A and B are shown apart, each in its own frame.
Chain A
Amino acid sequence: NAGVMQNPRHLVRRRGQEARLRCSPMKGHSHVYWYRQLPEEGLKFMVYLQKENIIDESGMPKERFSAEFPKEGPSILRIQQVVRGDSAAYFCASSSVERGNTEAFFGQGTRLTVV
């Protein structure tokens, strides 16, 4: 059973370009979470999704950021018109909906560098 897969591991974008980050959850998991980690800082919650639904997007910036988790395929975090301040590590985690199964498993992250 493969773990949470994120790609790419490293992504370089010029200011103004779009960044697309992908996350394939663990098999059987239907909940996905995205977190951002700035250098030497903790993890900031961005968005929580189930298949085809956004459950909690309280941590998403109001502009330029969007996320989806379609019925088929990976979850996508999309950042439009990137700026230098978007440079960070973006982590995806997944969990199941089974009763009592509370832990989330993390991917290796995508390190975005905006130049």
Chain B
Amino acid sequence: GNSVTQMEGPVTLSEEAFLTINCTYTATGYPSLFWYVQYPGEGLQLLLKATKADDKGSNKGFEATYRKETTSFHLEKGSVQVSDSAVYFCALKAGTASKLTFGTGTRLQVTL
């Protein structure tokens, strides 16, 4: 079946540090890949997506590249801010008519 593996948190960084959150997946076919972010007490918001190999999704300074050869979709940001503190979820969807499969989430804490 389909699965997503994320690095365990929490990840604690100082403001302006470089961020990487690793995500690898197992899926049949060619899934679409997503990063969602959840702020405390809120629902999930779509952060970025990529629908085919070598696509790069980007939003708000975050980036992730769909790497089919390594089945990865690592999230990166060059300079994090305190306001980026949240839980980040990697997810895949194996077709229009299928469910989203999530990783366990990685908590990011950014300090001054």
Contacts and interface: CB of A to CB of B under 8 A. Distances in A.
A106 B44 contact: yes
Given A91-B43, A91-B44, A109-B43, A104 B93 contact: yes
B58 interface: no
Interface residues of B, number: 23
Q: Looking at A42, A48, A97, A105, which has the most chain B CB atoms within 10 Å of its CB? A: A42
Contacts of A6: 43
B73 interface: no
A62 interface: no
A54 B89 CA distance: 26
Contacts of B105: 41-43
Contacts of A41: 104-105
Nearest to A58: B99
Interface residues of A, number: 28
Interface of A: 4, 6, 31, 33, 35, 41-43, 45, 48, 55-56, 91, 93, 95, 97-109
Q: Looking at A56, A97, A106, which has the most chain B CB atoms within 10 Å of its CB? A: A106
Contact of A108 (B36, B42, B95, B99): B42
A33 B34 CA distance: 16
A107 B44 CA distance: 7
Given A33-B100, A42-B104, 16 more contacts: A43-B89, A48-B98, A55-B97, A56-B99, A91-B44, A93-B44, A93-B100, A95-B96, A99-B96, A100-B96, A102-B93, A102-B95, A103-B32, A104-B46, A106-B43, A109-B42
Interface in B13-37: 32, 34, 36
A42 B100 CA distance: 13
B100 A97 contact: no
B49 A103 contact: yes
20 contacts: A4-B43, A42-B89, A42-B103, A42-B105, A43-B44, A45-B101, A48-B98, A56-B99, A93-B100, A97-B96, A102-B49, A102-B51, A102-B93, A102-B95, A103-B34, A104-B46, A104-B93, A106-B36, A107-B43, A109-B43
